[in-house]
Structure 1
Amino acid sequence: MIVIGLTGWGDHPSLYSGVTTSKDKLFDYTGHFLTVEVDTSFYAIPSKAHVRKWCEDTPENFRFVVKAYQGMTGHLRGEIPFETKNDMFNAFIECANEFKRYGKLGMILTQFPPWFDCQSKNVQYLLYIRQQLKDFEVAIEFRNQTWYADKVVQQTMNFLREHQFIHTVCDEPQAGVGSVPFYPIATAHKGLVRIHGRNIHGWRNTGNAENWRKVRFLYDYNKEELQQLGQNIQKLHVEVKDLFVLFNNNSGQHAAKNAKELQEILNIKDEGLAPKQLNIFEGEL
């Protein structure tokens, strides 16, 4: 199975009915896609009440890819807002278990920062992640090229396989050590592809801190690029049972459009989508 979706459900105007409120956006989203990345969990661990609401508001075969909290992956500057590191992991595990209880957890995504390079202390930390999240399927996304250097890339993949980590395949600009190559290799029975765009100028020059996301992920894939991605995704799918593909290039609201174009290229017709709401003002505006 190949399932295509987006990172987050709250910022895709083309998917919503004309009367959509913020609380209806997830329902409208599930009329178009059967998976989504929960990116809000990177900034704050969702309450179990929120998770229950999301799970109850989505179709039976909908799956969430839950992004690990920033304190777990070394992004957080300063002290973690928990008494101990174990408390932080336990809070996240409670959240993830709620998704799992509903049968709607696709995987946990642990995305590491560009300064998380290939050295022994970071390998040890990955083992710590594996121990803490031992009951979950966990995807690893690197953002440092040293993990893919010619002399170590096979060791990297073997390490991920040995510890049952899902290798996250990324499509992103090739802009130095803080980006990774498109390396379509699977290391588990599930796979994950995250599509960030190819805005090399924006990747390198993100401007001020407030606007970095708008600059970095501003990109609209053309048909030829999507066809090439589709070919690589089909090849990767041969290696895995379930392959999740998430578009993250939403600065200019291109993600939903590109995801639908890729579905068409791959002839993916999702079954079990939520019914689309009718816009009662359609034809009157």
Structure 2
Amino acid sequence: MYARQFALVEVDNSFYAIPTPESVQRWVDDTPDDFGFVVKAFQGMTGHDRDAGRRAIGKLLTGEAVPSGDALGELTEEQEATMFAAFRSAFEPMERAGKLRAFLFQYPPWFDCTRDNVATLRRAKALMGDAPVALEFRHQSWFAPEYRAKTLAFMEREGWMHSVCDEPQAGLGSVPTVPEPTHPDRTIVRFHGRNIGGWHSSGSPDWRAVRYLYDYNDEELREWVGLLEAMLKRTSAIDVVFNNNSGGHGAGNAKRLMAMLGQSRGEPPPEQISLF
């Protein structure tokens, strides 16, 4: 049903665990030929959860699950490379089928613009080889006035696609909308909602439901029609993802933006639209 309405999906569960190639093959087999996937990088690869990375390596090396909290020490460069290789290997069926649009590296809010973190990005890009990779920041410093042009130039030089964000402007842990492509092949735009009051709710049990609870109005969506058309002059394709899904608004917002852009991909039965 979903693939009859939309030509793209973002894979989020890969952030929490590296899937098996068999699972990825099923996703490939169950979707049309023109369907595409944006795949989030595993959290151990982006520094969100170093313990998760150590557990993943432990399982890869021993074949057994490693309990959370077990003291495994810091990953060596060799172990880190093993983790990246295992992640990419899992998605080989998707790459072979031509359905992988990009691996999305979304770095955490504390990943600020420093020399060490620039080196981290270079190493991640090297470890991913020739795979298509997109980069999304969550710390405002990367697009501070004195660094914005340098950040974009770095991304272009290193071969990173830009994942452009529409999100609340809520201090250092958010980034401004910078509609600038950095790769000729593809750009990603992710709509996170504009719920400024809920953006810093990560301490609450239902923080995901609160943070992404937002319904874009037509005026807010129309702002993006011109931006997307302008960006297409500098990049061949743009993948748009609505991440404001906790209230069930993402699919409806996506359909409305598609209509504004003159796009269509089937009409769902009325009772089904609330599922997405």
* Fold similarity call, TM over 0.5: yes
The total of aligned residue pairs comes to: 248
Secondary structure in structure 2 of the residue aligned to 1:253: coil
Residue identity opposite 1:203 in structure 2: W
Deviations along 1:237-259, one digit per CA (max 9) or x if unpaired, are 22110110000001110000000
Tell me, yes or no, if the aligned pair for 2:21 and 2:92 is still in contact at 8 Å: no
Secondary structure in structure 1 of the residue aligned to 2:91: helix
Residue matched to 1:255? 250
Spell out the pairing of 1:115-130 with structure 2 (5 A cutoff). Answer: 115-130=110-125
Structure 2, unaligned runs of 5 or more: 59-78, 272-276
Distance 2:177 2:268 in 1: 35
Residue matched to 2:198? 202
Distance 2:17 2:32 in 1: 25
Distance 1:98 1:153 in 2: 36
Residue matched to 2:177? 182
Distance 2:152 2:263 in 1: 29
Residue matched to 1:95? 90
Residue matched to 2:12? 39
Tell me, yes or no, if the aligned pair for 1:206 and 1:215 is still in contact at 8 Å: no
Residue matched to 1:75? 48
- Deviation, 1:90, is 1.4
Deviations along 1:62-111, one digit per CA (max 9) or x if unpaired, are 01001100000000153521142222111101022221011110111000
Runs of 4+ residues deviating >4 angstroms: 275-279
Residue matched to 1:239? 234
Distance 2:259 2:223 in 1: 13
Secondary structure in structure 2 of the residue aligned to 1:157: helix
> What is the CA RMSD across the aligned residues, in angstroms?
1.7
Secondary structure in structure 2 of the residue aligned to 1:64: strand
Which residue, 38, 43, 49 being the options, matches 2:22? 49
Distance 1:191 1:72 in 2: 21
Residue identity opposite 1:70 in structure 2: Q
- Deviation, 1:51, is 0.6
User: TM-score normalized by structure 2?
Assistant: 0.86
- Deviation, 1:205, is 3.2
Distance 1:59 1:125, change over 3 A: same
Residue matched to 2:73? none
Secondary structure in structure 2 of the residue aligned to 1:204: coil
Which residue, 163, 174, 180 being the options, matches 1:168? 163
The share of aligned pairs that are identical, in percent, is 45
Secondary structure in structure 2 of the residue aligned to 1:260: helix
Distance 1:30 1:253 in 2: 17
User: TM-score normalized by structure 1?
Assistant: 0.84
Structure 1, unaligned runs of 5 or more: 1-27, 280-285
Residue identity opposite 1:76 in structure 2: D
Distance 1:276 1:198, change over 3 A: closer
